[in-house]
Structure 1
Amino acid sequence: MAVQQGIWKISQSADAKPQALREIKLENEALLEQQIVKDISILNAHWLLIGQQVTTDFGKKIDLLAVDASGSVIVIELKKDRTPRDVVAQTIDYASWVETLTSDRLSRIYAEFAVKQGLSSQSLDEVFRQKFSMVLSEDDLNSSHQMVIVAAELDASTERIITYLNDKASVAVNAVFFSVFEDNGHQYLSRAWMIDPLETEEHAVNTSAKGHWNGELYCSFGAGPGSRNWEDAIEYGFVSGGGGRWYSKTLLDVSPGDRLWVNIPGTGYVGVAEVTASAVMADEFITEDMALKGSYARAEDVGEDNAEFFVGVKWLHTETQSTAFSEVGLFGNQNTIARPRDKKWDHTVERLKQVWMIK
């Protein structure tokens, strides 16, 4: 199904019709690549660009590499003069190479990119922390990957292939379409995703999962100055996440009766709770009688995508941040809610049960 885009200029006069801007051809895809390098939010505001024209071990060059807050690596390929099927096959081939990269190799790729771009920091750990306000976990980095094809359009056959890979094979591949419009000598860029990017991210997480899920939910609670507050969560019985759909989307999959174990990144595990209510936005959850110490964005102020979402819980055990439980070998992840399928998570849950005497 072809994706059509358009931009209309709204007149200040109530009697005038909206004026459709003229669509023009993007003459140089290298220019689009440079625009993305200058501002990765053109694709996704929650990605960090770490490489451009990255040379693979078999002599090919990947247009762009990025990571998201979960450590997932994103392979970004511009269609350029290749046929649609060729670019899909090439992107999958690149992803098979990216999957083999160690954290050290990815750090070197970023350092080379930073030097070429004249960036102030050549440390992937440092820029990741600055971008996401989180510590980059070596276990999370490249634990999954995604593929994104950038094009003006794709043929119907290629779109069917991408849809099939996502829906049937759970392969995290997506396409984003750009159009250019002109008005009085000014050019404007329009973007449309073929598949909701959140679906692709979910496939990336599922693809990387190994082993059996033990039925226990992991929760990352990003407490900090000017943000959510752990004492609020204890007193009013909630966990929350927000600041973008990436941070809030997993809360929507939580159901009453689920049990979750709460970790404050950089601090340690601080509680375990049973979910009592499904996720709602701050506007609905917060009441006037709550004396909240933290800051929680409301949809009426920042829009639904950036609003804080709350899940009501009954605490089974809590710790203060100063008594949080932390030791080597415990599971950590940047997703607000996760269903880990690895032995480290099994160990973490059993260890917390032992320490907190939870059945």
Structure 2
Amino acid sequence: MSHDVRLWKVSPSDGKEIQEIYKSRLNLEERLERWIEEDISIISSGYQIIGRQVETSFGTYVDLLAMDQAGDLVILELKRDKTPRDVVAQTLDYASWVKKLTAEQIIGIAEEYFSKTGAETFEEAFFKKFGTAIPNELNVSHSMLIVASVIDESTERIVSYLSEEHGVPLNVLEFQYFKDNSGVEFLSRVFLIDPDEAESNTDRVSSGKRPKNLSKEELQEIATNNGVGGLYQSLFEGLLPCFDGVKTTRTSIGFIGKNVVGTKTPVTFSLIPLKSSKEKGIRYELYLTRLAEYFHTTIDEIEKILPKSRDIFHYNNDPSPEWSGYQGFFENEDVVRLFLDGVRRMKKKV
């Protein structure tokens, strides 16, 4: 059942008179896609648009594709003139495609979209929006949102059933359009299912919800419990002034080096307390070309200050230079001191 939203305008002179603003169906859904693309906050301030009319492997097109701060995807599908059965089935079909997208494919979609706008890169837009780097792990989960100017009873029944009984992350957002006698336009917004309730339905059924990233304090505690608390603290405190910030994940803390040309995420170096031990030391992973470019130095100079025992590292088995580097352990304070001294020297030259 469509929500019967009514709107009145209060007189600006004395506040005593009110005038009802009547609904209009003036090509609303044709304009909604553009409005959402230009200002996604009319749906949620926690989303970033990364694609419009995105072609799937089935030859169909997702109206709008968004991403949240955690790197999870949101499918936005406008109902237009589709039947309830068609719009729900098509949205679920899109989700079956989105679920299988790799991080490389998602970044490719986003970069193509932002290259058309010409204003900024995906990396810049994400950092500007969320104040953090693009997560290394993308698309752990996804959600679907059908956008409509009218919610019919059949769509409401289907979506409510899928959410309440099966925890399917699917919701409907109804926009209603109003216009007063002077031509001023108004837009109202109503969710079929409260977003908190919809998320709760999904959490209740699903066991695959993305765990929260650990805090810096939690990572320090894990390092201490694993017998490398001192090494971790020395590296963290020593590296922090040499980078542009940090970001945490469920296992690591990454040091951010912004403005490295050609990179899709500015994390250049990570410490991983969960994979560390008193016997081996504190585990690290680094992106070699990113680190060298960030400090305006050579790969040889970076290699000179690293622990001698190390292995080649490829993120997600991607051998490209951007996603490659070294992994290993800082075994003691001597190798930590050598590394920090080298990093500080390079930072002074930048």
TM-score by length of structure 1 reads: 0.59
Query: Where in structure 2 are the equivalents of 1:309-348 lying within 5 Å?
Result: 322=237, 331=251
Task: Determine which structure has greater relative contact order: mean sequence separation of CA pairs < 8 Å that are 6+ residues apart, divided by chain length.
Answer: 1
Greater radius of gyration (CA): 2
Find the counterpart in structure 2 of residue 200 from structure 1. 198
Deviation for aligned residue 1:64: 0.3
Q: Distance in 2 between matches of 1:348 and 1:208?
A: 28
Find the counterpart in structure 2 of residue 8 from structure 1. 8
Q: Distance in 2 between matches of 1:80 and 1:61?
A: 14
Deviation for aligned residue 1:351: 6.1
Paired residues of 1:25 and 1:180 also in contact (CA < 8 A): yes
Find the counterpart in structure 2 of residue 99 from structure 1. 99
After superposition, what is the alpha-carbon deviation per residue over 1:135-184, rounded to whole angstroms, capped at 9, x for unaligned? 22222x11000000000112212211111111111110000001111121
Find the counterpart in structure 2 of residue 131 from structure 1. 129
Paired residues of 1:146 and 1:172 also in contact (CA < 8 A): yes
Query: Where in structure 2 are the equivalents of 1:281-292 lying within 5 Å?
Result: none
Q: Distance in 2 between matches of 1:165 and 1:14?
A: 49
Identify if the C-alpha distance between structure 1 residues 353 and 142 changes in structure 2 by more than 3 Å, giving closer, same or farther: farther
**Counterpart code for 1:120:** E
Q: Out of 183, 186, 190, which is 1:185 matched to?
A: 183
Find the counterpart in structure 2 of residue 58 from structure 1. 58
Mind listing any 5+ residue stretches in structure 1 that lack a counterpart? Answer: 221-260, 273-318, 334-346
Paired residues of 1:219 and 1:262 also in contact (CA < 8 A): no
Q: Out of 145, 150, 161, which is 2:147 matched to?
A: 150
Identify if the C-alpha distance between structure 1 residues 96 and 85 changes in structure 2 by more than 3 Å, giving closer, same or farther: same
Q: Describe the SS at the equivalent of 2:75.
A: strand
Paired residues of 2:174 and 2:192 also in contact (CA < 8 A): yes
Q: Distance in 2 between matches of 1:59 and 1:116?
A: 21
Query: Where in structure 2 are the equivalents of 1:29-48 lying within 5 Å?
Result: 29-48=29-48
Deviation for aligned residue 1:54: 0.3
Q: Which moved more, 1:9-18 or 1:37-46?
A: 9-18
After superposition, what is the alpha-carbon deviation per residue over 1:33-83, rounded to whole angstroms, capped at 9, x for unaligned? 111111111111110000000000110000000011121100000011111
Paired residues of 1:330 and 1:348 also in contact (CA < 8 A): no
TM-score by length of structure 2 reads: 0.61
Mind listing any 5+ residue stretches in structure 2 that lack a counterpart? Answer: 223-232, 241-245, 254-271, 282-350
Identify if the C-alpha distance between structure 1 residues 201 and 113 changes in structure 2 by more than 3 Å, giving closer, same or farther: farther
Backbone CA RMSD of aligned residues: 3.7
After superposition, what is the alpha-carbon deviation per residue over 1:292-317, rounded to whole angstroms, capped at 9, x for unaligned? xxxxxxxxxxxxxxxxxxxxxxxxxx
Paired residues of 1:24 and 1:181 also in contact (CA < 8 A): yes
Identify if the C-alpha distance between structure 1 residues 93 and 322 changes in structure 2 by more than 3 Å, giving closer, same or farther: same
Paired residues of 2:173 and 2:192 also in contact (CA < 8 A): yes
Q: Describe the SS at the equivalent of 1:23.
A: coil
**Counterpart code for 1:116:** K
Identity %: 36
